[in-house]
Amino acid sequence: MTGAETSQNAESTGESDPATDTDPAGESTTEPLGVGIITVATDRSLASDAAGTAIETALEQSGYELTTREHVAAEHDRVQSIVLRLIERGDVDLVITAGSTSIEPDDVVIEAVEPLFDKELTAFRELFTMYAAERIGSRVVAMRTRAGVADGKPVFCLPGNADATTLATEEVILPEARHLIELAQGHGKATESAAEPAFADDDSDTTDSERAGETDTDS
């Protein structure tokens, strides 16, 4: 990947460091993840887009690679088209939209993006709502965040507030991004047991001595 593209008119913004693991010799062992950011707003541009900038900052601080950052007006067909275009790009592994997710008449992102999902990540909505409620209380009722997998790529639809996008990106999306991508693309089975916490068996509360007693009784 040669650098991030910023588009209202595909301006170049430069290049960020990729998120990779290294072996003891310092060689990269993990491919960088490419992230596409889409700001959805009719009343602001990329230059005044605090929410998109907050996502970009979180990516840079975590070592992820910004592939492209784009802006589109809050119009259903245009939003759906640009999200689909990023999903189809070979250098984009993850898509994040910011803005137009509330309940105002021109908030169209959920209606535009949900039909693209093959599977919905329902736990994201619940987890983000829980985190957001700790900060803004009952005002979360107006939020309609969504996340899902489209053509093997996770897509997250976030509010247009910078604090909200920072919270979602840093606390939920980036910690799970690589694992979600591996699972969505069918590469996660081999590492699933190591990456996910083991759920206890039904008899996990049974002590060793109790199990031994059950064995003695049976014998």
For residue 208, what pLDDT is reported? 52
CATH of the domain at 92: 3.40.980.10
Domain-located, residue 207:
no
Range of the domain at 155: 4-200
For residue 41, what pLDDT is reported? 95
Beta partners for residue 158, in sequence order: 98
For residue 2, what pLDDT is reported? 40
For residue 32, what pLDDT is reported? 79
Domain-located, residue 115:
yes
Mapping DSSP to helix (H, G, I), strand (E, B) and coil, where does residue 116 land? Answer: helix
If phi > 0 it is left, if psi is from -120 to 50 it is alpha, else beta; for residue 214 that is alpha
Domain-located, residue 216:
no
Domain-located, residue 206:
no
Mean pLDDT by 10 residues, the chain (219 residues): 45 39 48 92 89 96 93 97 98 98 96 98 97 96 96 98 97 96 80 48 50 48
Q: How many domains does the chain have?
A: 1
For residue 168, what pLDDT is reported? 98
Domain-located, residue 214:
no
Domain-located, residue 209:
no
Q: With a threshold of 0.85, does the pTM exceed it?
A: no
Strands (DSSP E) contained in 99-196 are 119-120, 146-150, 153-158
Lay out the sheet containing 146-150: strands in order across.
11-14, 4-7, 65-72, 34-40, 94-98, 153-158, 146-150, 119-120
Domain-located, residue 164:
yes
For residue 188, what pLDDT is reported? 62
Beta partners for residue 95, in sequence order: 36, 155
Domain-located, residue 65:
yes
